[in-house]
Amino acid sequence: MWSNGNRSMSSLEMKGEEIKTEARKSVGLSDLLACPFCGNDVDVEADEENEFPYFIECKRCYIRTDNYVIKNHLIERWNRRAS
Ligand SMILES: [Zn+2]
Tell me the pLDDT tens digit for each residue of 5-16: 555 555 555 555
* pTM confidence score: 0.62
**What are the boundaries of each domain within the chain?**
2-82
Q: Ion ligand 1 — residues with CB under 5 Å?
A: 35, 37-38, 40, 58, 60-61
Q: How far apart are CA 21 and CA 56, in angstroms?
A: 26
Residue 52 has pLDDT above 80, yes or no: yes
Give me ligand 1 centre to Cα 16, in Å: 33
Q: How far apart are CA 1 and CA 21, in angstroms?
A: 31
Give me ligand 1 centre to Cα 26, in Å: 25
> Do the Cβ atoms of 42 and 59 come closer than 8 Å?
yes
